[in-house]
Chain A
Amino acid sequence: MPTLSEMDWCELLRGPIDPNAAVRHVRADRDGALVTFDGFVRNESHGRRTRYLEYEAYESMALAKMREICTQIHNQYAIHRVAILHRLGHLDVGETSVLIAVSAPHRAAAFDACRFAIDTLKRTVPIWKKEFFEDGAVWADGELPPAPLPPEAAS
């Protein structure tokens, strides 16, 4: 029997994200609530007009960490199914970079799990964005993932 998180959908995409596909994947008759988070490219950053973004990832690890988030939220919240989709490459203003959809029998779990998923993704999934402005480009300020304890202290 598949584990709960095997029914989830995690993917890194090179083309546009279809929010409806994510919704269709997680939505079922046993559910009564579905929460989505749509993260998309803003037209400015710290007062500078953004032209476009470029995303890149350490792909094998990014996928592993995205799947880990699914497992975590299944363990912590009474949810049914999860989709976490992240786009890579060139993204114009207004385009979706990340889409998270969580279904659940009741809304509270879906809201909480979706919030936890995006917050955790932003701290732990190895994806980076470069912001291109009219007058230059910078790698966006990021968060340093929490480093684990040394091996002897961890056990």
Chain B
Amino acid sequence: MSGERRGIAVLIPAFNEEGTVGVVVGEVRAALPEAAVVVIDDGSVDGTAEEARRAGAVVLRLPFNLGIGAAMQTGYRYASARSFRAAVQVDADGQHVPGEIPKLLAALDEGADLAIGSRFALRGSYRAPLLRRLGILFFATTVSLFTGKRFHDTTSGFRAANARVIDLFARSYPSDYPEPEAILLLSRAGFRVREVPARLRERSGGHSSITALRGLFYLCKVFLALVMGTMRRPPRADGRA
């Protein structure tokens, strides 16, 4: 994939988020007027797609619910096909602050391939329930162990990717609960992954997609995927298979 890469795509996966998606799209457009806002409607049965379109977003509508990983990959496929130079992941529930996006983009300009908005690099700004904090700690420890690099917030979905990472994610992106795996994938392929302190809001709507039992399931699933990931040949950073 050659040719000039221009523009920033903000990728917002949304599943039944009609209450918040319009506001989030509006905020992103206000913060980054030049960016293309892309909402991936992951098979919603409410007015998510209409609200997003009304707010001025490009809407990619999946025919049925694929889950966050596959929905996000749809966005990366779009960004890759349209040759965007950077893609930013933002949650549709309003917990990410669009005003913080420039910090992530700045990290890309400084040479990072993937910039992660970390909730913990800023002291005291984020309080999560105990179980979730334990899960977050578990993945941070595991990913740090496997990559040999210190990570604090491997489950944060507030991220910015440069063109090379966009093209890689368009080809292969982990499913279900993809954030920790994506870090491992990139690190092993020789990409530079950097955490950037970012403010976070309380959710303005919706709820975490992770309940206790599913949390345990995802814990096992992601752990297995991480272990398998270390035993697999990494994709090449130059984009050739």
Note whether A and B form a binding pair.
no
**A contact residues vs B (CB 8 Å cutoff):** none
